[in-house]
Amino acid sequence: MIDLSSINPVVLAAALMVAATPILLAAIGELVVEKAGVLNLGVEGMMITGAVTGFAVAVMTRDPYLGLLAAAFGGAAISLLFALLTQVMMANQVASGLALTLFGLGFSALLGQGFVGVSPPRTAKLDFGFLSDLPILGPILFRHDPMVYVSLALVAGVWYFLNYTRGGRILRAVGENHEAAHALGYRVRRVRILAIAFGGACAGLGGAYLSLIRVPQWTEGMTAGAGWIALALVVFSSWRPWRVVLGAYLFGGIIVLQLNLQAAGFRIPVEYLAMSPYLVTILVLVIMSSGRARKTLAAPGSLGRPFHATG
């Protein structure tokens, strides 16, 4: 009765990459933050701030790329609030992160008041010439908006930076054991503040991807929990950049696949599939809060611990 061929796997794969991109962007940023030993639960707040600043700037300048740039700055700017609280004033990271999310949601609603119902300038899909015309591979891989490729390039960059550069090793050292890193003369606080700003910029980009490309419109609270999924992804990938890609595409895949299966009329236990990303997220956050489980997951040694420079 149901025609399995009614779902086009090529379209599905292409849609999956698009659905995964916002959480991939936010997650790769948070990975760097956590690798530096900081747990920033404010991803949702930074994403929504990026979504609104990116949208506003894109609308005012009629240039989506300026909008994306502004989103990165917006996300980084609001993340510096978190940096101020946790790195300078030594506030609790979990509480500050949650506060950042609440603040971001409210602040973005305020900023976005004049932009509801406005249509943003569109980003063109890239055309790679003969590559885009390839059968199957063309539509899956070579006909997306630029941000899909930027997100993958960011992952590659982060992977290279963490593993093969001096700066990356210092960042990891700070995250693994901030006392030792400090004793070696590395500036723990400065490294962490830079990492937090990078995480904020990435989250901002992820948010703007939603408001400028994915949906494209601005409405309050439009990230609707994507930031929390990004947080869970980092743990799910045990802090490895390429696994973040895998996780994001898996999560994006579940969402897109279940919607497409439903649209095609398949009888599937929708309620469980729709819940699954959130269930995994909750599970991961529970695991995160237990110290022993964290160790077995190979979390950075100093993750979430405040650093006081003592002599």
Partner 1 sequence: MKRRHLLAASALALGLGAAGAAFADDPLKVGFIYIGPVGDHGWTYTHDQARLEVEAHFGDRVETSFVESVAYGADAERVMTQMALSGVEMIFATSFGYGPDVNAVAGRFPNVAFEHATGYIQEHPNVSLYNARFYEGRAVIGHIAGKMTETNTVGYIASFPIPEVVMGINSAFLHARAVNPDVQFRVVWVYSWYDPAQEAAAAEALIEQGADILMQHTDSTAPVTIAQDRGIYAFGQASDMTAFAPESHLTAILDEWGPYYIARVQEKLDGTWEAGSVWHGIGDGMVGFAPMNEAIPEDVRAEAEAMIEAIAAGEYHPFTGPINRQDGTPWLAEGETAPDGDLLGMGFYVEGMTGSVPN
Which residues sit at the interface with partner 1, rule CB under 8 A?
6-8, 11, 15, 19, 22, 109, 112-113, 116-117, 119, 210, 214-217, 219-226, 255-256, 259-260, 262-265, 267, 269-271, 274-275
CB of 249 closer than 8 Å to CB of 16: yes
Place of tokens 């956590």: 34
Residue 278 CB, shortest distance to partner 1, in Å, is 10
Residue 98 CB, shortest distance to partner 1, in Å, is 15
Give the span between the Cα atoms of 92 and 203, in whole angstroms: 21
Nearer to partner 1 (CB atom), residue 263 or residue 309? 263
Residue 83 CB, shortest distance to partner 1, in Å, is 27
Residue 256 CB, shortest distance to partner 1, in Å, is 6
Calculate ∠ Cα 9-123-7, nearest 5°.
15
Nearer to partner 1 (CB atom), residue 222 or residue 245? 222
Give the span between the Cα atoms of 28 and 249, in whole angstroms: 13
Nearer to partner 1 (CB atom), residue 100 or residue 256? 256
Give the span between the Cα atoms of 73 and 201, in whole angstroms: 6
State in Å, rounded, how far the first CA of the chain is from the last one. Answer: 74
Nearer to partner 1 (CB atom), residue 185 or residue 269? 269
Positive or negative torsion for Cα 47, 202, 53, 77: positive
Nearer to partner 1 (CB atom), residue 107 or residue 186? 107
Give the span between the Cα atoms of 101 and 40, in whole angstroms: 10
The CB density around residue 2, as the number of other CB atoms within 10 Å, is 9
Residue 3 CB, shortest distance to partner 1, in Å, is 10
